Amino acid sequence: MEFSELIRTGRAQAELLRGPEAPPLRGTLCVTGHHLLLSPGPQATPDLWLLLLRSVDSIEKRVAGDSGTITLRCKDLRVLQLDIEGVEATLDIARSIEALSSLESVITSYPFYHRPKGLRLGDAWHFHPPERYYKRVARETTAWRLSEVNEDFSLCPSYPRAVIVPRAVGDDALARSARFRQGGRFPVLSYHHAPSGTVLLRSSQPLTGPQKRRCAEDEELLRAVLEGAPPGTRGFIVDTRSAQTAKHARLTGGGTEAKAAYPGWKRLHRPLERGRPLQESFVRLVEACGDLEQSMDRWLSRLEGCRWLAHVKEALSTACLAAQGMEREGACILVHGAEGMDSTLLVTSLAQLILDPLSRTMAGFQELVEREWIQAGHPFQLRCAHSAFSHARPKHEAPTFLLFLDCVWQLGRQFPLSLEFGEGLLLALFEHAYASPFGTFLCNSEKERCLCEVRTRTHSLWSVLNQPKEQRKLRNPLYVLNPLAIWPSVEPQSLRLWQGLFLRWIHPSEPSEVAWEKVWQIVTDKEKTEGSQPMVSASEPQP
């Protein structure tokens, strides 16, 4: 296999330091095609320490005397230090890790080799096909149909093969609308809010350009949306850019819906930061969290200066706006920014969590991530190529998905009983989005996943997460179904730094884990005693 060319050295003696909590680990270090292994010898526990090379974000080497030190900063924000015997060995290992951790080819990545025990390939991939969500919509309304116009991904390379569109609009019209939208992302249904009969749609910006072009089919599509809703329903277009930016976009062929062309629709601008500024905010925050030497008197203003919590606030309030539009005003909502693959998805997915109790269940949330992020074409491979430690100039990296997870965490903190899953699931999703032995977050779109045969040749993260032994870590023991919308408070006083993620490796989270375990005990004890009643009555004295 070609990895062997990149591996400069077989093995070396090393000591691994894993932060303040874990004791150092000493043993034989070894680089393989996908992993860094440290084997402390047969007597030690654990007998093997393993790190996926993909999860290394940056690597720093130092040599002194006849030994060296490698500092690995991982995508999950962990910082590891390896003290290695031998200067040559250190440099070789560092070079090997550098080369192997930055391989770009998808089909040689580890998920294509990972074959965990007890799982069958292709098991869980079919949990969430577009048909499944459509079935739910079809039970609620007949105004929508499932179109396979994008079956070969030719209309829109970033959409899945099937999308939900107004029944009254034919595939030809969709094709024309697609040509009028950036990247072919014509308006499609994201969520049907049954109680009000309104819908949430998403798309990319219309290509009006400097000439203010129009597209009759695109207009027809949005008209059909309102006609499919209860009579008199209005529409709101939530543009995630400022009015200014949207206007400027015309110069480069983009733009925004002209008022006159879309009767019944009103445009609102709610600027959300994306791309570079968001990535920089993430980098600054991680830097601030890891800076233990800096005098702490300025921590709060530094935290504020990172602007991360401001992004959380903006994302949540825009999602509230969209959700409020549907639930309180009975209006249809179309969300888009420019490409419609980042902040658009942030808004539509959060709005659903606020409104839809089903999306707050364990299965529903997985379905939401699959449908609104993975299949909706959030370019995970580009956005999560690097995390906060990379020295490389960010190209397409942006922590949009992490921002989403953070917002969900804030919802969970404010409504501790309303989400069926806990922080554990959010942490797992963060880790796996950036580096994973599973195929779920590979590639940028369904089209690419199809080409790489991801669904048949890798295992799905969902199969692992849904194994019974994982549940205690991932589920919220206090969950009770809350049929209402959960309106978060978005005041800065109500938002918190997500310590469980950003300070996870800096400060032991043990006390909160103890508490978590305690809740589980209470809950399961209760169930156990419940479950054992019949047993007791059955164990009657034998004559």
DSSP, residue by residue, 167-233: TTS-HHHHHHHHHTBGGG---EEEEEETTTTEEEEE---B--TTTT---HHHHHHHHHHHHHSSTT-
CB within 8 A of 218, min separation 6: which ones?
176, 177, 180, 181, 186, 187, 206
Binding mask 340-379 for other proteins (x = CB under 8 A): ----------------------------------------
Q: Can residue 487 be called a binding residue for other proteins (CB under 8 A)?
A: yes
Pick between residue 40 and residue 235 the one whose CB is nearest to other proteins: 235
Exactly one of 117, 231, 297, 483 binds other proteins (CB under 8 A); that residue is: 297
CB of 427 to other proteins, least distance (A): 18
CB of 241 to other proteins, least distance (A): 16
Binding mask 137-166 for other proteins (x = CB under 8 A): ------------------------------
Burial of 536 (0-12, 13-18, 19+ CB in 10 A): exposed
Q: Which of 94-98's residues contact partners 24+ apart within 8 Å by CB, and which partners?
A: 94/59, 94/61, 94/68, 94/70, 95/8, 96/6, 96/7, 96/8, 96/9, 96/31, 97/31, 97/36, 97/53, 97/56, 97/59, 97/70, 97/72, 98/59
Pick between residue 249 and residue 490 the one whose CB is nearest to other proteins: 490
Exactly one of 21, 148, 172, 304 binds other proteins (CB under 8 A); that residue is: 304
CB of 234 to other proteins, least distance (A): 9
CB of 240 to other proteins, least distance (A): 15
CB of 56 to other proteins, least distance (A): 26
Pick between residue 82 and residue 289 the one whose CB is nearest to other proteins: 289
Q: Which two tokens stand for residue 293?
A: 């030497």
Give the chain's radius of gyration (CA, Å). 25
Q: Which two tokens stand for residue 276?
A: 């570079």
Give the span between the Cα atoms of 197 and 538, in whole angstroms: 51
The footprint of other proteins on residues 226-255 (CB under 8 A) is: 236
DSSP, residue by residue, 50-80: EEEGGGEEEEEEEEETTEEEEEEEETTS-EE
Give the span between the Cα atoms of 255 and 272, in whole angstroms: 16
Query: Given the rule CB under 8 A, which of 130-138, 157-165, 190-198, 528-536 is the region that contacts other proteins?
Result: 528-536
Helices (H), 34-163: 87-101, 130-140
Q: Can residue 520 be called a binding residue for other proteins (CB under 8 A)?
A: no
Q: Can residue 293 be called a binding residue for other proteins (CB under 8 A)?
A: no
Q: Can residue 300 be called a binding residue for other proteins (CB under 8 A)?
A: yes
Binding mask 400-439 for other proteins (x = CB under 8 A): --------------xxxx----------------------
Distances (CA, A) of 106 to 143, 152, 271: 39, 21, 34
Q: Can residue 259 be called a binding residue for other proteins (CB under 8 A)?
A: no
CB within 8 A of 140, min separation 6: which ones?
192, 194
Q: Can residue 301 be called a binding residue for other proteins (CB under 8 A)?
A: yes
CB of 140 to other proteins, least distance (A): 24
Q: Can residue 533 be called a binding residue for other proteins (CB under 8 A)?
A: yes
HSE-CB at 111 with a 13 A cutoff on CA atoms is: 30
DSSP annotation of 443 reads S
Pick between residue 277 and residue 416 the one whose CB is nearest to other proteins: 416
CB of 445 to other proteins, least distance (A): 33
CB within 8 A of 500, min separation 6: which ones?
409, 423, 427, 509, 512
Pick between residue 150 and residue 324 the one whose CB is nearest to other proteins: 324
Distances (CA, A) of 221 to 162, 171, 367, 375, 499: 17, 11, 26, 22, 44
Pick between residue 38 and residue 497 the one whose CB is nearest to other proteins: 497
Exactly one of 17, 37, 321, 382 binds other proteins (CB under 8 A); that residue is: 321
CB within 8 A of 525, min separation 6: which ones?
none
CB of 204 to other proteins, least distance (A): 22
Query: Given the rule CB under 8 A, which of 1-9, 166-174, 301-309, 341-349 is the region that contacts other proteins?
Result: 301-309
Nearest alpha carbon to residue 122 among 441, 442, 440: 440
Pick between residue 123 and residue 287 the one whose CB is nearest to other proteins: 287
CB of 298 to other proteins, least distance (A): 7
Exactly one of 289, 338, 355, 427 binds other proteins (CB under 8 A); that residue is: 289
- Judged by the rule CB under 8 A, the positions of this chain that interact with other proteins are 236, 266, 268, 289, 296-301, 303-304, 309, 317, 320-321, 324-325, 328-329, 331, 414-417, 478, 480, 485, 487-494, 496-497, 499, 503, 506-507, 511-512, 514-515, 518-519, 522-523, 525-526, 529-530, 532-533, 536-541, 543
